Amino acid sequence: MKEEKLPFALIAIDLCLLKIINNELCVFLTDVNKDSLYQGLKCLPGGLVRLDESAEDTLKRIIVQKGLLKMDKIYTEQLYTFSDIKRDKRGRVVSCAFLGLYSGLSEEGFIPIGKIKKLAYDHSLILKTGLERLKTKIEYTTIIKKLFSNNFTFSELQKVYEIILGKEIDKRNFRKKIDSLNILEETKDKRKEGRMRPASLYKFKTKNIETLNILG
């Protein structure tokens, strides 16, 4: 691409991919290109939308390109389109951003939210927007299921709610509420760990995200 200005903006996608690791909310980051004006900074994975691709196609391509991540372990939804003129110092790029939740096992590339300082471009804003979306949506949908691959204990589920919402939840009321929603299935397995009483393992009954009042 030459350095002259194009008559119109380019379109890119960026992905805010979240995952829980060790009781911390993490986001997948990569390094910016070497020749970039954002030297040394990290950024969300992304790329330009080609002529023969929808934004969703581009998203899939980027996910595959970044390797490591198997598509069926990633849930994505459109987040917001960022079009500020100066959002990318290199030139005019409009970004159609996606929120993603990763339920795979790989932890490579994921950085705890709390440890992130400054990101390239406007990616701090995209991250903030993604976190808000997740926080809002776990209150009225079962989107949280996209963060789990294996079966899980009630405590683990509760912990993830607490991490995302940033507040503690009463154990008894939580169990009562989730029970009443009828979205979980008890498996026959139990989790034994250390010298604790084994906990029953659960899984979500369906794969699709339902809308209902989860917490309130």
Is the separation of the CB atoms in 99 and 45 below 8 Å? Answer: no
Is the separation of the CB atoms in 46 and 13 below 8 Å? Answer: yes
In the set 104, 124, 140, 183, which binds a second copy (CB under 8 A)?
Answer: 140
What gap in Å lies between CA 204 and CA 142, rounded to an integer? 9
In the set 36, 47, 53, 60, which binds a second copy (CB under 8 A)?
Answer: 53
177 binds, options a second copy, DNA, none, Cβ within 5 to 8 A by partner type: DNA
39 Cβ contact list (under 8 Å, min separation 6): 32
Among candidate residues 173, 174, 163, the one with its CA nearest the CA of residue 134:
163
Candidates 49-57, 158-166, 172-180, 182-190; binding stretch for a second copy (CB under 8 A): 49-57
Candidates 61-69, 71-79, 129-137, 164-172; binding stretch for DNA (CB under 7 A): 164-172
93 or 201: CB nearest a second copy: 93
Q: Does 94 bind a second copy (CB under 8 A)?
A: yes
Q: Does 60 bind a second copy (CB under 8 A)?
A: no
What gap in Å lies between CA 80 and CA 158, rounded to an integer? 28
Q: Does 111 bind DNA (CB under 7 A)?
A: no
Residue at token pair 């204990």: 153
Candidates 48-56, 94-102, 129-137, 148-156; binding stretch for DNA (CB under 7 A): 148-156
